[in-house]
Amino acid sequence: MHNDTIAAIATPLGMSGIGVIRVSGADAFALVLPLLRRPKGQTELPLSHLLTYGQIVDTTSQEVLDEVLVAFMCAPHTYTREDVVEIQGHGGPLILRRILQTVLAQGARMANPGEFTLRAFLNGRLDLTQAEAVMDLIGAQTEAGQRLALQQLRGYLSQQIQRARCTVLKVIVRIEASIDFPEEDVPTPHEQELLPLLYEAQQQLQTLLAGYRQGKLYRQGLRTAIIGRPNVGKSSLLNALLRAERAIVTPIAGTTRDTIEEVANLRGVPLYLIDTAGIMPTDDPLERVGVERSRAAAESADVVLLVFDGSEHLTTQDRSICHELKVMGFGSHSENVTHQVGRPMIVVINKSDREQHIEKEAVSDIWPYAPFVTISTFTGAGLSDLEEALAELVLAGKTVSSTSVLLTNARHEEALQRTAEHLRASLVSLNQQLPLDFVSIDLRAAYDALGEVTGETASDALLDSIFSEFCIGK
């Protein structure tokens, strides 16, 4: 299946100045060259990796479809390590579809989602972590996320995985050599000889696993629900954090009747801000739907910003919302701890530009361990303090540098957790002085689990699952 020639539009469909059709496979040149009409009747194959000006012509009708630049790129110095042609035409959807149909009529097959990157993986240009980094790079929402994806694409994560895999392999070789070749008088390795290598492999894994929570934040972002009763300033807070007028703000309570979701950048973490309708009792069917969606947003949130109106006294509705959030597990605590545990939240006292009437001691009694921030969305006072509190809550002062290697993918984390479990099992067997065959079984499982990360032991089903999430043309 992967020996035929495939084609697809490689740029997003829409109106743009340029659109690209990518063709890859052994017959890529032979299929595209007859479609290209060049000045002075040139017919020979252009030089590799140079742009050639011409027109794409429908060979059946001889109709000129577009004025283009075409790059013929010889294997193996291409994205897929196959012969590749990229046709750069004008970025109108109709134009690109007609050019693609002409290429397909020549004998190419429509590419499946992610098939170009799959071929790059199968042909050894990328390992599986690098292939997944392609999608992470395309989908990055912040510069920090882009840096992490680029580090993974450049193979830095793969190098860390391979170091751990090599360490495990050293132990396997020493054990299995003594088992498989007893007639060669290969000495049985002693426990003290193997333990340092196993501890080294464990440390290599723990270093990667320790960064997963932070890496996941940079890749997936943080769902942050802005919760409170009507007219406390939730929509104003959304606009203030976005530095844009995204939500409608009026003095009329209940302006927001649905959830609004936008993305802000919190020190490199995509912050998915969810502005919600005020949670309150209501007989209005439309408002009731909005309130239920607000509750659902709070349930699914990673962090809640609980907003109070500092210019008014604490109300029954405020207390009711606090009770609901406690039931959801936000800001829960124990008498034996001195810090917030449970699901994270921040108490936000808004409208500090007005005379203050809220009973802060009462709010503090309800949420003794939640960070408190006083702000004014009208003047902007305290917004930097709120961003600082959010960053401290989710990042604990950690940042991403240009050399950071962080685990960001749940698939990688799960495979490394399995690896760590097999290493622990092998250490137990070794310490209990069980036959080395038992130690070797767990080490082999650990070695294979590490290979799943880079793709060396990945099943076809796993590959199909990963590449099916790619867009067509990538």
Question: What pLDDT, on the 0 to 100 scale, is given for residue 183?
Answer: 55
Cα distances from 256 to residues 48, 290, 307, 310, 364, in angstroms, run 57, 8, 15, 20, 28
Q: How confident is the model at residue 260 (pLDDT cuts 50, 70, 90)?
A: confident
HSE (side-chain half, CA atoms, 13 Å) at 27: 14
pLDDT band at 286 (very low <50, low <70, confident <90, very high): low
6-124 and 131-211+407-455, same CATH topology: no
CATH class, domain 224-395, is alpha beta
Instruction: Give per-residue pLDDT as tens, 25-39.
Output: 999 999 999 999 998
Q: Are the beta carbons of 159 and 233 closer than 8 angstroms?
A: no
Backbone angles phi, psi at 100, to 5 degrees: -60, -45
Which amino acid, 212? Y
pLDDT at residue 424 above 80? yes
Beta carbons within 10 angstroms of residue 286's beta carbon: 12
* Domain extents in the chain: 6-124, 131-211+407-455, 224-395
Average pLDDT, whole number, for the chain? 85
What would the two tokens of residue 388 be? 């600082």
pLDDT of residue 333: 45
Q: In what order do the strands lie in the sheet with 372-374?
A: 260-266, 269-275, 222-227, 303-309, 345-350, 372-374
* Per-residue pLDDT reduced to its tens digit, 166-189: 999 999 988 887 776 555 555 677
| CB-CB contact of 71 with 49 (8 Å) | yes
For 272, phi and psi rounded to 5 degrees? Answer: -85, 95
Cβ contact 307:228 at 8 Å = yes
Place of tokens 């020190």: 267
Is residue 159 predicted with pLDDT exceeding 50?
A: yes
CATH code, 6-124: 3.30.1360.120
pLDDT of residue 255: 43
Among the ranges given (51-55, 117-121, 179-183), the one the predictor scored with the smallest mean pLDDT: 179-183
The Cα–Cα gap between 42 and 36 comes to 9
Model confidence band, residue 118 (pLDDT cutoffs 50, 70, 90)? very high
**Cα distance between residue 469 and residue 136, in whole Å:** 11
| Confidence band, pLDDT 50/70/90 cuts, at residue 274 | confident
Judge whether 273 and 238 are in contact, CB under 8 Å.
Answer: yes
CATH of 131-211+407-455, one of 1.10.1660.10, 2.70.70.10, 1.20.120.430, 3.90.380.10: 1.20.120.430
The residue written with tokens 């012969």 in the block is: 83
